[in-house]
Chains A and B, each alone.
Chain A
Amino acid sequence: MEPYPASPPLPRAEFEFTGSGGEYFRIWIVNLALTVVTLGIYSAWAKVRRLQYFYRNTRVADASFDYHGNPVAILKGRIVAVVLLFAYNFALEFRPVLALIVAIPVALALPWILRQSLRFRLHYSSWRGLRFSFRGDLAGAYRVFMKWPILTQLSLYLLGPMWHQRLKHYQHGNSFFGDTRFSIAASVGAFYRIYAVAAGIMLALLIGGAVLAMQLRDAAVPVGFGAAMAALVLFPLVIFGFLLLVGPYLLARIQNLVWNTTALGPHGFESRLRARKLAWIGATNLLLIVLTLGLYMPFAAVRLARYRVACMSLLPGTALDEFVAAQKAHVGAFGEELGEFLDIDIAL
């Protein structure tokens, strides 16, 4: 990668998020009510409205993003995904052999499904009137979504950071804005360094928790009670430690690494997420969501989006007016919807 000039020829363009919690709360609650009234059918329209709210309120260089997903296509994708999942779950419960018949083709098709999901998201996103697109090939999808996960398992997760690097290269290296290709230069070593620190934090938590638990167990309390107390301390410590320390650390560092090494033609990006700030937002959001029985969720989503967007900058290499459109393509929503129902998030 070429080093950036000491003073960029053009002023950096800051990303900003203009949405507000109150506005999004109203969209969210109306979405929820209509989804319940229509027995879930409205959820496709709700998804489009939700994404449009976040996309259109995200701005950079005097223009907003937009989401063009078609609710009817999303609904069809959702119906297929729900039918498949119900078939699988009920088969698993009552006829395990049938479950295999459903699961094996889905597992084999999973890389294709995930590639479809990447394509759908980008093809239906735009900025300044031009669409994004994803043009990764199927062979690449089978490498990052089948070969590497298997290698990672076999290596007892030692190859995990390498898989992550390959995944980000597949994702960012095959994304386009108009006819201009994104590129990424994040090295394997950089991924390993981040994961090593995360593993260190986890280990420190485990050791600290174990020491604390042992002291509690040996404390002069009735037999059995001490051990229960120890378990009570150790278990949440590890879970919350992961949620509040390791999770935000990985999110911040990986996103920074990926975007700081990503370029779009002559233009660069800068990402300045801070793990501590993310952890604070995550912890307080979680607390408020629990205290309000979920009503704070839309406010929490806006708060997180505002911080994440505000930490991004675009570093223009030339004028931003020179991108040109690419041929439009149609992409079905099935992959995206099944991916969503299988709870696979490749946003990181």
Chain B
Amino acid sequence: MTRRLDAVYFDGRSSARRAVKLHLEPPGALRLTGEGVDRMEPLSQVEIAEAMGAAPRRLVFVDGAVCEVPPQPGLDEFLAGAGHAESAVVRIQARWRWAIGSALALVLLMLGGYRYGLPWAAAQIAERLPPSLVASLSNQTLQALEELLFEPTALPVERREAIARAFARMRPPDAAHVAHEVLFRSAPVMGANALALPSGTIVVTDELVALAGSDAEILAVLAHELGHVHERHGLRLMVESSIVGVVLAWYLGDVSSMAAGVPAALLQARYSREHERSADAYAARMLQVNGMAPALLADMLEKLDASHRGGPAKDDGESDYLSSHPATRERIQALRGAR
């Protein structure tokens, strides 16, 4: 190893700059010679900093002295001869192919994480949220809904109690009891609908009660909503949107706003098809163990579909209800098929 490199040496005690020549002295030592400098150091005592583009390479000595080696022919061979191997990260950074590969890997990771990782993580977290937190979240959401959409129910108290009592008497399909409470509200803007909050509060609108052909159909809808509560769909959605919010906030550079959108996200939450299917399956099982037909829910879905179609149509001719329930026909058929 006879090659010599040009370098600049700073002793770490003063800012004096000294031009030096670097050479390797076997066995395993680095020697610097130049203006008033003659230093020999075992290679094991010299830290060779990683490559940073075209910036000078830095050799750092244990006493704080530093050598800056500008880019020059033979530099890489010299450092390799000194026993230096670049880390995997540096080798990846040096090649466009790898950089573009990591960009693609990044996109795939984000998509995969969104499709599979996010629902899994959300389910895990939703499972572990403390009940007091769930209750306080649900209360906030209910308060917001009371202000935005709900009006006091016009149903007579006997009718409300009859429905709530009948539902309380129904056995859940699994051994697990799901705590719940049924509330009635008038919602002229929303129309016939029912919704479940993560705490187990199920809200049924007067409009839905009016639409139902029988109390059994209302019970079928309640069973469906109880399915959402049991499977913690609302919480999972909330956690998912919070995670997405955090990632977006980080990408857009505002970490402090991360928790601000949680109740709002819950308000806008829409269940996915899988969530609806699994709540339907839960309702079907619950109806069956109580000697009722799953088709009751199918009948109710049909009526809801028709009522929202007839409702205030949007410009594109598709009702709001349908756009959030794209597979209603499929669900109706599945429920009719369940025996």
Size category of the binding interface on chain A? 35 or more
Task: Determine how close the nearest CB of chain A comes to the CB of B193; give it in whole angstroms.
Answer: 27
Q: A321 is contacted by which of B16, B136, B262 (Cβ under 8 Å)? A: B16
Task: Determine how close the nearest CB of chain B comes to the CB of A327; give it in whole angstroms.
Answer: 12
Q: A30 is contacted by which of B10, B13, B99, B133 (Cβ under 8 Å)? A: B99
CB–CB B258/A37 < 8 A? no
Query: What residues of chain A lie closer than 8 Å to B106, measured between beta carbons?
Result: 29, 32-33, 36
Query: What residues of chain A lie closer than 8 Å to B17, measured between beta carbons?
Result: 61-63, 128, 320-321
Within 8 A of B (CB), among A17-70: 18-20, 22-27, 29-30, 32-34, 36-37, 45, 49, 52-53, 56-57, 61-64, 66
CB–CB A57/B65 < 8 A? no
A320 CA to B10 CA in the complex, in Å? 12
Per-residue interface assignment for chain B, residues 95 to 114, with 1 indicating a CB less than 8 Å from any chain A CB and 0 otherwise:
11011001101100110010
Within 8 A of A (CB), among B246-260: 251, 254-256, 258-260
- Segment with Cβ contacts to A, from B54-62, B147-155, B173-181, B307-315: B54-62
Task: Determine how close the nearest CB of chain B comes to the CB of A294; give it in whole angstroms.
Answer: 8
A295 CA to B106 CA in the complex, in Å? 12
CB–CB B136/A57 < 8 A? no
CB–CB B55/A56 < 8 A? yes
Total interface residues in chain B, CB < 8 Å: 46
Query: What residues of chain B lie closer than 8 Å to A328, measured between beta carbons?
Result: 64
A294 CA to B113 CA in the complex, in Å? 20
CB–CB B16/A94 < 8 A? no
- Segment with Cβ contacts to B, from A85-93, A145-153, A157-165, A274-282: A85-93
Task: Determine how close the nearest CB of chain A comes to the CB of B157; give it in whole angstroms.
Answer: 33
CB–CB A19/B14 < 8 A? no
CB–CB B8/A130 < 8 A? no
CB–CB A29/B12 < 8 A? no
Query: What residues of chain B lie closer than 8 Å to A294, measured between beta carbons?
Result: 251
- Segment with Cβ contacts to A, from B20-28, B86-94, B200-208, B330-338: B86-94
Q: A36 is contacted by which of B55, B56, B109 (Cβ under 8 Å)? A: B109
Per-residue interface assignment for chain A, residues 312 to 324, with 1 indicating a CB less than 8 Å from any chain B CB and 0 otherwise:
0000000011111
Interface assignment of B11: CB less than 8 Å from any CB of chain A: yes
CB–CB B14/A63 < 8 A? no
Query: What residues of chain A lie closer than 8 Å to B99, measured between beta carbons?
Result: 25-26, 29-30
A90 CA to B133 CA in the complex, in Å? 10
Q: B94 is contacted by which of A26, A61, A127, A343 (Cβ under 8 Å)? A: A26
CB–CB B15/A178 < 8 A? yes
CB–CB A93/B92 < 8 A? no
Interface assignment of A342: CB less than 8 Å from any CB of chain B: yes
Query: What residues of chain A lie closer than 8 Å to B284, measured between beta carbons?
Result: none
- Closest chain A residue, CB of each to CB of B53: A23
CB–CB B96/A324 < 8 A? no
Task: Determine how close the nearest CB of chain A comes to the CB of B132; give it in whole angstroms.
Answer: 9
Query: What residues of chain A lie closer than 8 Å to B14, measured between beta carbons?
Result: 130, 178, 321-325
Per-residue interface assignment for chain A, residues 336 to 348, with 1 indicating a CB less than 8 Å from any chain B CB and 0 otherwise:
0000011100000
Query: What residues of chain B lie closer than 8 Å to A325, measured between beta carbons?
Result: 12-14, 64
Query: What residues of chain A lie closer than 8 Å to B259, measured between beta carbons?
Result: 89-90, 92-93
- Closest chain B residue, CB of each to CB of A64: B56
- Closest chain B residue, CB of each to CB of A34: B89
Q: Are A66 and B256 also in contact (CB < 8 A) when A20-B53, A52-B52, A128-B17 are?
A: no
Query: What residues of chain B lie closer than 8 Å to A189, measured between beta carbons?
Result: none
CB–CB B66/A343 < 8 A? no
Query: What residues of chain A lie closer than 8 Å to B65, measured between beta carbons?
Result: 129
Interface assignment of B6: CB less than 8 Å from any CB of chain A: no
Query: What residues of chain B lie closer than 8 Å to A32, measured between beta carbons?
Result: 102, 106
The 3 nearest A-B residue pairs measured at CB: A129-B10, A23-B53, A89-B259
| Residues of chain B having any CB pair with chain A under 8 Å | 8, 10-17, 52-56, 58, 64-66, 68, 89, 92-96, 98-99, 102-103, 105-106, 109-110, 113, 133, 136-137, 251, 254-256, 258-260, 262-263
What would 17 more interface pairs be, CB under 8 Å, given A27-B52, A94-B136? A19-B55, A25-B99, A26-B95, A26-B99, A37-B109, A45-B89, A52-B52, A56-B55, A62-B8, A63-B8, A89-B260, A128-B15, A321-B14, A321-B15, A324-B14, A324-B15, A342-B256
